[in-house]
Amino acid sequence: MSAEILNGKILAQNLRMKMKEEINALKGEGIVPHLTVVLIGDDPASKSYVNGKKKASSEIGMESDVILLPESTSEKELLDLIDKLNHDEQVHGILVQLPLPEHIAEQKVIEAISPAKDVDGFHPVNIGRMMTGKNAFLSCTPLGIITMLKENNIEITGKHAVVIGRSNIVGKPVGQLLLNENATVTYCHSRTRDLKHFTKQADILVVAVGKPHAIGSEFVKEGAVVIDVGINRTPDGKLTGDVDFENVKEKASFITPVPRGVGPMTIAMLLKNTIQAAKQIKGSTWKNT
């Protein structure tokens, strides 16, 4: 048996086609979704991500702009800019590209963004609303994973989902979203004893550890769905995941590749959140729909 490949690139393209139609309809009402990305410094990986977001935005007719700031930008200058964007009615979504320089407090910046424009889904208000099952902007990578499972008709209800990784950006929120979809969820991390004991029970295995090929076939149950969130660069410059793809694909029922797996879905969900923000934003507070 060889796993069916979950191609996030093709799925994201199909979703963006639908978003394009949605944006055209909104334009008829005088609404043009607008995303503003703030990038500090000149980290090549961050620049690449930001350019990808801008390109995807323009392809579906969404307005987007990138504000480039020098590495020396002070925390106060960044917070003042965010405050200005919060009050700009033409801007529906605000994204500050992480990581930030060491002299700027990441959490302070995240909390400064209006929850109604927090299209990254990192603000504590949106995290809290997600935890309690209420309307919220959901973190883009976890939302992309859930969307990918649903679009491929992969059953979540009643399944045992094991998440390896407990970051605030992926591990914790994807576990909560799986729980919200009625999965039974186990979190594993760097201090989990006998990791294999847990992963071999997983019907759905989500791997987000940031170590190339950390998970081989010996960690995977026959027929499991394997979602690889890792993006690692090999010495020869190629991208690879946290999962040993070639070996695990012979044991799994579904598996995501790296690249062309979860990554494109993350950007698609950012666009989706921005469209949603354009539909419902009022002032600087969340508007229920």
Per the annotation, where are the binding residues? 165-167, 231
Q: Can you tell me the distance from the alpha carbon of 164 to that of 231, in angstroms, rounded to the nearest whole number? A: 15
**Residues acting as catalytic residues:** 53, 97, 120
3-state secondary structure of 150: helix
What single string gives the DSSP state of each residue in 105-147?
-HHHHHHHS-GGGBTT--SHHHHHHHHTT-S-PPPHHHHHHHH
| Residue list, annotated binding site for NADP(+) | 165-167, 231
At CA 36, angle to CA 34 and CA 41, rounded to 5? Answer: 165
In sequence order, what are the residues at sequence separation of 6 or more whose Cβ sits closer than 8 angstroms to the Cβ of residue 183?
156, 157, 158, 159, 160, 161, 204
Q: Which residue has the tokens 């209420």?
A: 134
Closest C-alpha among 265, 250, 191, 285 to residue 3: 250
- Integer angstrom CA distances of residue 89 from 19, 76, 125: 21, 22, 21
Q: Can you tell me the distance from the alpha carbon of 54 to that of 46, in angstroms, rounded to the nearest whole number? A: 12
C-beta of residue 71 within 8 angstroms of C-beta of residue 42? yes
Question: Dihedrals φ, ψ of 172, to 5°?
Answer: -65, -50
